[in-house]
Chains A and B, each alone.
Chain A
Amino acid sequence: MDAALGEEVRLVEAARRGDGRAFASLVAPHLERAFRVAARATGSPALAEDVVQEALVVLHRDLHRYQPGTSLRAFLLGITLRAAVTWRRSERRRTARELATHLDDPFASPDQAVEARELAAQLQVALDALPERRRQAALLRFDGGLDHADIAAALGTTEQAARQLVYEATKALRAALGPPTEMSHVH
């Protein structure tokens, strides 16, 4: 057992015993990716935090199912995607006022904000047009930073199928967004 795996095993065991710091240490490296996936999956940075909270609750409950040495990120992001789907379904209940009150500007700088927001909207439209599995594969690949094996684990499919899903999604997104030169001005 290498040192990293040994440390993960220790943290998982401690978290299962109710050690909050251990649980936080386990998930900390993956929270930003989970947030990105949730934000894109829901189309709302405001909702993303709640989705990830929910995913953490499920992860904590199901930690006994996690096998150390496999990908905790894939495990968490798979849960996050499923939680996001549920939240999207129930989103009609939320009033626009609730969202408007609490949204920070989600982008890094004012200079980037307008163009980034436009690009985000364009990308969101393109993603929403994808079949669900391709969309999820794209989120896991580009927001989640997973490789094909981990995408397969998160989606419960084979690595080859995951590779194909990412390929098809990428092709469709590229067609929707246009050639790279049209996006480079956002820099």
Chain B
Amino acid sequence: MSTDRDIETAFELSTPRAGPAVERLGRFAAALGSSRSAAAGIVNLDAEVAAWFEATAVCASSATLARLESGASLPAGIGAPRRLVRWPWALGAGASALLIAVWLTVPASAPTPAVASAERVDPQVAAPLLAVAADGVRSNAAAWMPFGALVAYDDVLNPGALPGDEGGPTGEAGATGADGLADSEELLGSEELLGSEETSVAAAIGLALLHGEEIDTNPTLALP
């Protein structure tokens, strides 16, 4: 391979630093390898997706998720801002659930939305909540602080529940039904709204729908 040394050198010199990412990936692997049953109890998801959720949460904001579970208010500065963790495409057509795990931005002092323990997302409820969330984000995105949240939508238990959802994972980017962003896009009414905050709000509402005690459509609970 000595004749390849110049190209090897070019690759080496232009390789991004991987250290912190590799550390996080190691934690992700440990969580992924052991967390299925515990995670499945959280949101009644397909085991694989539940594992994804829990592992991602452990990487990102286990403390935040614990707080979300308990309904506590969120202190400032939990975790580090992180981009949207998008659909687990690799789960493929066999996956029975759809999930978005996101880093969500909310005011540090805002209470966690108190919402329903429903295991299925009711579009009649979700649509207006998402619209409200989008309005809130438009008006005050900059004031929000990072924390993690999750929206999960079980496409097998409840196919076609969301507008734009045609009832099953397709595994293809951009296809309705397989792509939660496509669903959110429909609900929010415009692709231009799908920045990180907007999508995160959609995720938060989904999480709330899945985990809360009651559904409260008062936007001041969830938004600044």
A140 smallest CB distance to B (angstroms):
11
Q: What residues of A have a CB within 8 angstroms of the CB of B11 in the complex?
A: 40, 123, 142-143
Any A CB within 8 A of the CB of B195: yes
* Cβ-defined contact, B6 with A174, below 8 A: yes
* Given known contacts A49-B25, A52-B25, A57 and B17 CB-to-CB distance under 8 angstroms: no
Interface bracket on A: 35 or more
What CA separation (Å) do A77 and B11 show in the bound complex? 17
Interface hit among A14-22, A67-75, A128-136, A151-159: A14-22
Judged by DSSP, the binding face of B is helix
* Cβ-defined contact, A90 with B174, below 8 A: yes
* Cβ-defined contact, A58 with B90, below 8 A: yes
Most chain A CB within a 10 A radius of its CB, from B9, B17, B88 = B17
Q: What residues of B have a CB within 8 angstroms of the CB of A107 in the complex?
A: 16-17
* Cβ-defined contact, B89 with A86, below 8 A: yes
* Given known contacts A143-B15, A170-B4, A177-B10, A89 and B34 CB-to-CB distance under 8 angstroms: no
From B13, B25, B29, B31, give the contact of A116 (CB < 8 A): B13
A169 smallest CB distance to B (angstroms):
9
Any B CB within 8 A of the CB of A5: no
A39 smallest CB distance to B (angstroms):
5
Which residues of A are at the interface with B, using a C-beta cutoff of 8 A? 15, 18-24, 27-28, 31-32, 34-36, 39-40, 45-46, 48-50, 52-58, 60-61, 79, 82-83, 86-87, 89-90, 93-95, 97-99, 101-102, 104-108, 112, 115-117, 119-120, 123, 138, 141-143, 170, 173-174, 177, 179-180, 183-184, 186-187
Which residues of B are at the interface with A, using a C-beta cutoff of 8 A? 4-11, 13-18, 20-22, 24-37, 48, 51-52, 55-56, 59, 81-86, 88-91, 173-174, 181, 194-196
